[in-house]
Chain A
Amino acid sequence: DADVTQTPRNRITKTGKRIMLECSQTKGHDRMYWYRQDPGLGLRLIYYSFDVKDINKGEISDGYSVSRQAQAKFSLSLESAIPNQTALYFCATSDMDTGGNEKLFFGSGTQLSVL
């Protein structure tokens, strides 16, 4: 089983609809992230959370919200989807050691299309 699981794998929705992307992890990591990937733009950070009570905006948080329901679960919501939110969305986790070393572990992504 995957350590970082994203659902759904693919989703097509219509403009104006509310949609939630879910992420769960079995790695026991405190840190969780949501990124979006667009062709030619790489990965950009939407939101991140370092524990259940900690939520932080990334560089492109407008139009998105998140919920950290538990250490293992971090969901991303689009309250009213628009076509330019069509992208590949990644959830990631990480665990930082005392030396400051940190690695990201990614889910397999959710391809979202907003029509």
Chain B
Amino acid sequence: AQTVTQSQPEMSVQEAETVTLSCTYDTSESDYYLFWYKQPPSRQMILVIRQEAYKQQNATENRFSVNFQKAAKSFSLKISDSQLGDAAMYFCAYRRHTGNQFYFGTGTSLTVIP
């Protein structure tokens, strides 16, 4: 099975500041997809951002961007201008290009301090 590691169980950030959440993964594949999902207290899982491994350009969605380092198998999420609504559990996920399963990390709980 694939392994997705989130080494930061908890993080905190001051409102309006920037925070980076870490994710590493283990794979021998060259083509795959990486995702960040957000889970607020409502429990709903929401897709934040997605990256295709064959694309060298880092994905960006408004205040959310990733730093994708394919050789290092690293996929970190940067949240700029943090807002109170960003407080949530964040999960990193991996899917092989031809695979049937998504593999999730253990999550990072982000607190935003007013």
Contact = CB atoms under 8 A, between A and B. Distances in A.
Interface of A: 33, 35, 40-45, 48, 50, 56, 58-59, 88, 90, 92, 100-104, 106, 108-109, 111
A101 B47 CA distance: 14
Given A100-B97, A106-B45, A108-B42, A41 B106 contact: yes
Nearest to A38: B106
Nearest to A59: B1
Contacts of A33: 102
Contact of A48 (B6, B37, B100): B100
Interface of B: 1, 4, 6, 9, 33, 35, 37, 42-45, 47, 50, 52, 91, 95, 97-98, 100-102, 104-107
A55 to B, nearest CB: 12
Contact of B101 (A41, A45, A103, A108): A45
A43 B47 contact: no
Contacts of A48: 100-101
Contacts of B100: 48, 50, 56
A103 B50 contact: yes
A42 B43 contact: no
A108 B47 CA distance: 13
Q: Is the interface of B mostly helix, strand, loop or mixed?
A: loop
A33 B103 CA distance: 13
What 4 A-B pairs have minimum CB-CB distances, sorted nearest first?
A106-B45, A43-B104, A42-B104, A42-B106
Contact of A109 (B9, B43, B95, B107): B43
Given A42-B6, A102-B95, 8 more contacts: A33-B102, A41-B106, A42-B104, A48-B101, A92-B45, A102-B33, A103-B47, A106-B45
A104 B102 contact: yes
Contacts of A58: 101
A42 B105 contact: yes
A90 to B, nearest CB: 7
Contact of A106 (B4, B6, B44, B105): B44
27 contacts: A41-B106, A42-B6, A42-B91, A42-B104, A42-B105, A42-B107, A43-B104, A44-B104, A48-B101, A50-B100, A58-B101, A59-B1, A59-B101, A88-B43, A90-B45, A100-B97, A101-B33, A102-B33, A103-B50, A104-B47, A106-B44, A106-B45, A108-B42, A108-B43, A109-B43, A109-B45, A111-B43
